[in-house]
Chain A
Amino acid sequence: VSQDLSVNLQQSILNASLAGNIDANVSLFSDDAVVMPPNDTTLFGKAEIQAWWEDYFQYFRIVSSAESENELTVADDQLLNEAQLPSLSFLKNRVRDP
């Protein structure tokens, strides 16, 4: 059941990312989520995560994203999910000068 749940959640994340659906993406995060994107500051909570994705999708569109590997461990009420996720993004608009 947990494996099914993980697959469904992971699929939802992928689908939301591919569709550029920020609401669907952010709905998968808890209110107190902490996200640490590489080469960027840490995001605390849904509002910051939403702002990050809004900025991202302003410039990029994800055209391909697939898991190469996924390992799931359940500990009490925690799903520990380690996944490798190569993705391919395209610049949506020309990056504007600041």
Chain B
Amino acid sequence: LRQALNEAGKAGDIHALISMYADDVIVMPPNDTTLYGRAECREWYQEYYQYFRIVALSESEREVAVHGDFALERSGYMIAIVPVPGGNRIRDDGRSFNIWRRQADGSWKIWQSMWNSVKPVGSGTNRYLSRLTQKKTKGKR
């Protein structure tokens, strides 16, 4: 599942990404508002891939604990993205924490998710994602 998630992320395959989320998913991206449900997640990814393309994504560590219908997954990752309009490759190191929940049909879906960067504010992907968030916030005023 994690492999499929990473592959979908690298491919920018929003449909595949969203298919791995539960209907009542809650996602808490860094420096951004909480996303509730698949529709908000889809919108977030559409905006993300409008500006960025993931060119490398690998896990540095991963730990999974299963408790009944829930699986707690903590992982470290290294990511490299490039701006769609062009520009230098941006590298970042971060961590993610996902709670996967077994669905009525037996499948596992991401139910709650958050991630952040280990790099200082103003560096890594944060520098660019912050600008995007500011732009979004400004647009809502």
Q: Give Cα distance in the complex from A45 to B95, angstroms.
A: 16
Q: Are B67 and A75 closer than 8 Å at their CB atoms?
A: yes
Q: Are A39 and B121 closer than 8 Å at their CB atoms?
A: yes
Interface residues in B, total, Cβ within 8 A: 22
Looking at chain B's contact residues, the main secondary structure is strand
B53 in the interface, Cβ–Cβ < 8 Å? no
**How far apart are B102's CB and chain A's nearest CB, in angstroms?**
10
A84 in the interface, Cβ–Cβ < 8 Å? yes
When distances are taken between beta carbons in the complex, the residues of chain B under 8 Å from A71 are 26
Instruction: List the interface of chain A (C-beta within 8 A of B).
Output: 34, 36, 38-42, 71, 73, 75-78, 80, 82, 84
Instruction: List the interface of chain B (C-beta within 8 A of A).
Output: 26, 30, 34, 63, 67-70, 72, 74, 76, 95, 97, 99, 112, 116-121, 126
